[in-house]
Chains A and B, each alone.
Chain A
């Protein structure tokens, strides 16, 4: 049990240390690690992304809690979260206390520019991987397009979209219930 937790901590520490550009860009790394360690399947990961997006806080942290929970319940969740958060804590503290002119460290700024481009590629990878799992028919393509337009052009807020989608899902569920009942009757 202890070694499993230790491994969990180390894996999420790695993930936290390489998370640039937001939680979504981190998905390819997390998936890779979860699959390599045989902890979480790609389909489950998809569900975790859904839960993480709909919950408060950073997506990266939420996903780590969910994966940690699966591997080691409460303690696992705690350990995974600590792992993901620690690199941030250390880096910012060191920079804040010791490095006065962080913005002027040229080589770091350049490396960062390169990493920002890597983030674009990671996001593309996430869209392709997750899209293949989530988009299975034209209705879903339409839904994806509508959500995209609502947020990108109309600036809907994310919590609002999530609420609307849950409502939509509930409507569809209700409709299916009713049509089944009709057939039976």
Chain B
């Protein structure tokens, strides 16, 4: 059980820049140990992406569940977040202490601009997989129309994003 915790702590520690990075790491640690098969893993990833919550956390919970039932799910999940918790708290302390540092301000400015670029990458990748049909090299017209509908709703009415997500779920059931 401790092994489970430590392995997910290791995975959590090296997942930087997005949960997607966790997937190869988990594969490397968990599949080579024979805990789950590649097939099962792929299924888990699909379910983890379909359920609420960060993908990395979902996968950790799932693997833990398969391994040691409910205690395992809890252990793996907490293993995954403990490195985050410790390191982010340290950064939070440093940040509040050195907020006025010239160096920090400049570095943050640079990082902010760069991160927009990173978010743009995620945007393009997700747009491509959601709104474009790779096999026919054509837009997925139905999804595109839905996107425009949701976008119109969201950007004009400016309601809490949760409403748009609910609307998207309902419309999804109706139109697909």
Q: A interface vs B, CB < 8 Å?
A: 14, 16-24, 28-29, 32, 46-47, 49-62, 65-66, 69-70, 74, 77-78, 81, 84-85, 87-89, 91-93, 95-97, 102-103, 107-127, 130-131, 133-135, 140, 143-148, 150-152, 157-159, 161-162, 165-166, 168-170, 172-173, 176
A14 to B74, CA, bound (A): 20
CB distance from A77 to the nearest CB of B (A): 6
CB distance from B118 to the nearest CB of A (A): 6
B114 touches A143 (CB 8 A): yes
Give residues of chain B (75-111) contacting chain A, Cβ–Cβ below 8 Å.
77, 80-81, 83-85, 87-89, 91-92, 95, 102-103, 106-111
A29 touches B54 (CB 8 A): no
B47 touches A88 (CB 8 A): no
A113 touches B143 (CB 8 A): yes
**Given A23-B18, A169-B106, do A28 and B161 touch, yes or no (CB 8 Å)?**
yes
A162 touches B17 (CB 8 A): yes
A65 contacts across to B, CB distance below 8 A: 84-85, 88-89, 92
CB distance from B58 to the nearest CB of A (A): 5
B85 contacts across to A, CB distance below 8 A: 61, 65, 77-78, 81
A162 contacts across to B, CB distance below 8 A: 16-17, 111, 114
Measured CB to CB, the nearest residue on chain A to B127 is: A120
**Given A17-B52, A56-B12, do A121 and B65 touch, yes or no (CB 8 Å)?**
no
A109 to B50, CA, bound (A): 8
15 of the cross-chain contacts (CB-CB < 8 Å) are A58-B19, A62-B84, A85-B53, A88-B53, A89-B61, A95-B51, A96-B61, A118-B164, A118-B168, A134-B115, A147-B117, A148-B120, A162-B16, A170-B107, A172-B110
Question: B116: CB under 8 A from chain A?
Answer: yes
**Given A22-B54, A55-B87, A81-B81, do A50 and B102 touch, yes or no (CB 8 Å)?**
no
Partner of A123, one of B20, B43, B95, B126: B126
B146 touches A114 (CB 8 A): yes
A133 to B113, CA, bound (A): 9
CB distance from A100 to the nearest CB of B (A): 11
CB distance from B30 to the nearest CB of A (A): 15
A123 touches B119 (CB 8 A): yes
Partner of A57, one of B15, B150, B171, B175: B15
CB distance from B63 to the nearest CB of A (A): 10
CB distance from A82 to the nearest CB of B (A): 9
Q: Which 10 A-B pairs have the closest CB atoms?
A: A114-B172, A158-B17, A57-B84, A88-B53, A147-B117, A169-B107, A58-B54, A118-B168, A134-B112, A140-B113
